[in-house]
Chain A
Amino acid sequence: MTLTTDQFVPTSGNDDDAAQLLTDQEQQWVDKFMDETTLFLGPDPAIMRHHEIMPRTAYEEECIANGINPLEIDRIRKRLAGALDEAFEMCESMGAAPGAKWADLSCAVYTAEGDVTYLSNRGVIAFSAVLHHPIRYIMKNWKDEPTVGINEGDGFFHNDSRFGMVHNTDQSMLVPVIRGGIIIAWVGATIHEGENGACEPGGMPSGSETPFDDGLRASPIKIVEKGHLRRDLLTFLQHSTRDPKLMLADIKVKMGAVKRIMDTVDRLIDEVGQETFVASLRVTVEDVETEVRRRIGELPDGTVTFNQFVDSTLKENILIKFACKITIKGERMIVDLTGTGPEILNRAINSPLASTKSFMAQAILSYWWPDLPRSTGALSPIEVITEEHSWADAGYDAPVGQSLQASFRGFSALQTAFAKMQFSSPQKYSNVVAPWFNQINDFLWGGTTQNGEQVGNLCADLNGMGGGAKAFRDGEDAVAPLFCAMADIGEQEVMEEEVPFLQLVSKRLVRDNQGFGKFRGGMGYEMIVASRGTPSWGFMTVTSGSKFSSVPGMFGGYGCPVYPLAMVKNVNIYDIIQKDPSQFNLSIERVMNEQPFEGGDYQSAHMGLQFDVAKEGELYMIAQGAGGGYGDVLERDPELVVTDLELDRISAQTASTMYGVVWEPETYVVHEQATVELRAKMRQDRINRGTPYKEFIQDFVKEEPPADLLYFGSWGQDDDENLIATHWGGLEPERVKGKLEELPLIMVPDRRVLKISKLEARVRELEQKYGEVIEHKS
């Protein structure tokens, strides 16, 4: 880590301390010495732990002092927005990464100090709250560094989220705008590239157990020097991943997109003048921050608490808490994650603080106040309290390959709580909505294609998350990922030209895969894939939520179900279908329940699948997730219930026992009076079976989690600083309690070692039982 002199703490209470203070000259010597001898310029806590916009620079003050014309600034913003959208479309059209083709990218203009002023209208908004970190790092460490420097035409690359990135699959191109030798702004393009050389293909390894399994660890480096791509560094980056063509292609795509933004910036500066341009960037960032404070002030004062429980390390089932209390007082908002479980030092689910915060900004700019410019100013005034070395604020030594597990929860914490925060507000800027689905129910893949190329990436189905129900209408099916409102789920036929597997079932809704409610959440669809025509191929899944629902409902509505991974190994579906085309009738339900393929090994598992070799024709089956439901199910319009029934979106059991609707099976006509009577009875049944709260608490609430639950986090909310965790000193788990800094380091033993240990114990038990004497050697 970087050492900074301001972190120096005197070690004794020596009365002569005052006399020991350094003079200005001495301090300069110390600073110079430290600059020249710092061993390693790693992620800088002074940069990485702060999301606030920077104070005005002297030059910005000077530019603003010359006078602001709001209409002119608005024109500049619109011109920039147009340029950014054009650059976005260039990346989308030309990008080689699957993510680029489906809008998983962003283009931006920044102030000289790195604050995002404006982001492309389409794309991933989370980037607006994270890309100031690398620019500040570059400005602090490389600007005056003789071996690096920042010059016109330079471009910087990075991907490691420890230096500020949504996650490590993303790669940046950050380029300074220089006039008269002064850096006056930055422009940039960032794309979810996927493959990054991690321990598994595709860039989001669920199997990562150390930070070195996470893949490419690029700190900000000058990949473009005075307009020329450096082949030595490019070769290093290509050599570090499985897809060298992708690396080259998309660095060039980003260079092209940034050049297009720069053309507009050049013309703008020529037209309006450098000072007006700089003032407009700065004023936009400040205006957004000011407006956010004002809007916080419109919300009612109080505290909304929303806790989430995540059921997987992606290798084994656990239960780890993501705690969140949001307090509003006047124009202050404090987001407090105290009570969140500790980082797990050999599992991939931990998230750097900056990545967690970036998804808070995603919720704010996409679901709270989507009319605001996408700027660093949006999160800036919000205070965020976390504990370093919790899984939402991971330390430098924790793997973060699948950091979305924690950072997406940062999104859900804010998105879900906002329905309660804003409900009573007379002025709303977005609709009241139930929780959006928040998992990566998708196949990652890697291997050798039918064209002989090494690849690793993911399906676009990531973008098919079900939307939360609104307060006045059902959620939309498979509408958009939480991180990108206008993403695409791609053309399957186009993808099949490039990758050696078929989606034998694609986008078929799964019955009852809903968050039920007065208005139901948007549904997810199932996907069945099988490899074909490849010498080596494999699939992965990187999702939690197979035992504990990932999202709840809102105001009495229910959440999503849970999602298994289903597989049929030791079959070749292509041979089966060729012999008997009637077998091309696939669904998770039919295949798993009827087990129609002789000799098949039918398996269900949680959705953390590390790279699994997929032989030709073996079936891998998953379902995309549903959004949360809104309101009491017994208030759902019976006509909407039978419409869902007729379309096979819900089962007859759900229509009757959940929604309390009586209908004519032949015609789907609702029996209105019978429905009224059934619902009245169901309400009375609730009153009869419900227990008064205080009585219920006495019976239900326990001092701590069930003994066999591998639990991490606070228990309840009265004492969030005290955590419960599961620690393995040996092979047996033990429960530990205390403040985060008092807990032992948490590492989970290899599940195969645990399984072998259990099997060996069983073997010995059976040997003893049957009197067989075997000499065991270690």
Chain B
Amino acid sequence: MHHRSRPFCSTLLFVALSAAPGFAGQRAVPAVGNRTPLFEADVRPVLLRKCGACHSASGRAGLDIRTPGSLKQGGHAGAAVHAGSPDTSPLVTAIEQHRMPPAGSGDPVTKAELQIIKNWIAAGAHANGSSVGHWAYTPPVSSSPPSVLVPFVTPSNPIDRFLLSELKKQGLSFSGMAAPRARIRRLYIDLVGELPTPAETDAFASNPTPQAWGQIIDRLLSDPRYGERWARYWLDTAGYADSEGVLEEDRIRPNAWRYRDYVIKSVNTDLPYDRFLMEQIAGDELARYRTANSWSDSIGSCLTATGFLRTAVDATRDDFNTHQFVEYQYRMLHDTQTILISSTLGVTLQCARCHDHKYEPFTQRDYYGIQAILNGAIRPEGALLPSARRQVLAASVSEQKQIKDENAAADADKADAEKQLEQLRSKTLRQYFESRLAYVPVAERPALIDALATLVAKQRADQKALLAKWKGLTVPSEDQLSAAIPTFKAATDSLKQRIAAAVAKHRDIPEMRAIYDQDAAPPPSHILLRGEYLKPGDVVLPGIPAVLGRNSRYEPAKDVEPGTTGRRLALARWIVNPTNPLTARVEVNRIWAHHFGEGIVATLDNLGQSGAVPTNQKLLDWLSVQFVRGAGGAGPWSRKAIHRLICTSQAYQQSSDLNPKGAGALRDPEDRLLWRQRTIRLDAETLRDTMLQMSNDLDPIMFGEPVGEDTRPTGEVVAAGEDGKGRRSIYLLVRRSKSVSFLNAFDAPVMETNCTRRVASSTAVQALAVMNGTFTAARAARLATVIASAGNIPQQIQTAFQRVFQRAPTATELKQSQDFLQNQAKAFAGAPGAKGTEADWQKRAFEDFCLALLSSNEFLYVD
């Protein structure tokens, strides 16, 4: 039997990859001297000249110096190069100690050459050294916005100046300002995920000044719905779900929703993004919760935030075999790491799990350096039992003790009161029975007492009959007892009150799904050869990718409480350090993408060399620097400030109209330079939410346990009660194996790892869902009721258009609508077997009219 389970990497795969868009772009190569040496250009020639005679194809001592891979693999004596660590690399020590090249066999390596080799190793010993100089791996530099003179445009917003400067090179400019109605609709959908009311639309349309625009932006940014809207994007990249995602059972994850609420709150309060990330990556270490004397909301918030590192699919189960358990834990760890790095740094470090990255300067050592940071908390082979659910109690240790003591006292009081109540009841029963025994014939009395004293299971038929006969006597109601024995009621009431008070006193401490280190000294972490956990390689220290750490050193944080490693806190600090080249760019790019439909770098999760080329790198860098410093008078890392900058730009407010024969369509058909706004389809959640809003069914209540789902006999998964109790979609249960069919049809992601980018497909299934689905039918019926009070038919049509489209119908549309209502009522009346009144047909015609509006492109798309 031949063994073939080991995966390999096909060359074909990578041939295909190298053709990826953007691969050839933006490759700045500075002069040698102040840049990192490149293997092909700088290192390989030296090694070939000085060492190649013996250590190439012939491979003396098993060593082949021709590729970075073979150098790291080394020869019989082990690895020749340790990436990132020149001083411990045998290649370097052999040269420094003049052991190699051996005396008499050619020229020695010069000092300058050795320095090149050492620098190359220090930078990570990459094959593709060229990407080290990739723009995204060096910190952004803010250039001043270019001054541009374009007819009819007065670019006061720097964003516009950056964009216009590029557009001008193509002989292009912005499109005209979009109509007020289109703008306010766009803004509402973008910022709060709902539509403006007719009154809000009218107010702006009658006064569409920049001041009014700015005020609406400010109002919407402080609207709680803003947090619900923008938290969704972060929850996508964080891979948020309410279920474990494993097997048929796909069990519900208790308390995951607290993290969802944390994100919504943080977005709403504009928690500075650096703090937002730090809390999510190392909230436990930041809050020092273990040694805190008293619990505070801030501690709770910090711990809840670490739910970010607990979103991955988790196979932790008691009934898994131990060997499988380890395998699944490694998968969970890998996914967690992927989520952490792709969402914050926007690079594809996950590709370096089994081998050095083929296109980015990331080594396997870099990958396992990050893994070692997480190993403080997640240890696939550690001592945690599968059943450990890893929840943290929201109270300090001393508070927990106090609450425990108080609960014990309350519980004891309750037990005592219950006992007394029980005694009182039996005593009263006896009194009652004895007082009523007189009614029983003397002859039957001994038998009755006997029957009462017999266990129910052992009662004979005649005993049962006797008890039934005297039921009123043996099983009196509370009322009968109270009537017979006057003190009974007062006594029981007082005891019942005591029990209720004791129950109320018992405090449950909320649990949080959090991450925390298991202890301060984890066992050594290893590089896993080919990513296989059964093949541990070198020990690896916690660390950050060498190429990104050129300006900083990684060391676990020392200012942490005992019992934790400080590894994640140090990582978090490094990620949010203003010199980190990626963090700000990634977030700014993400915000941009959700306002314009595309990022400045289209690949939101990959700003690396293999990602897309930025359409305007200077703009991205300027925005990133503004973000870190604080834009427009806001504090550092304010996301609301970036929204404000973007939404006040002309680029954002311009029309999305497309003239297929215009200059823009010809010169920049993909609109990469933004000569027009883009038409965007509502995402699944926004579509559902706005439909609920239109039918007056949207419940504005925020936060809390998720609303569950139901599976119908047809296999359709619906939010509980069909409309999910009118809650916004962000509060619906995210069960990985059972996504709500309506949301799924409109491309809501099934959360397998995380979702860094959604698609907006257009399918017949969507058409069926809106035309024939019960959710939309219910919305249409309710909307028809809402507009029914508007007056006569034309007024109702007017109202419906205003409400759904934020505009009045044209004369043609009004006529078409009226004709439709008339014909449709006739169609219902004339259908075979139709039963009902004229009013019924009218009503159903109006429902169909509303369904058509809610199914229309104008409703589904934002201009």
A-B complex is real:
no
Binding site for B on A (CB under 8 A): none
Residues of B bordering A, CB below 8 Å: none
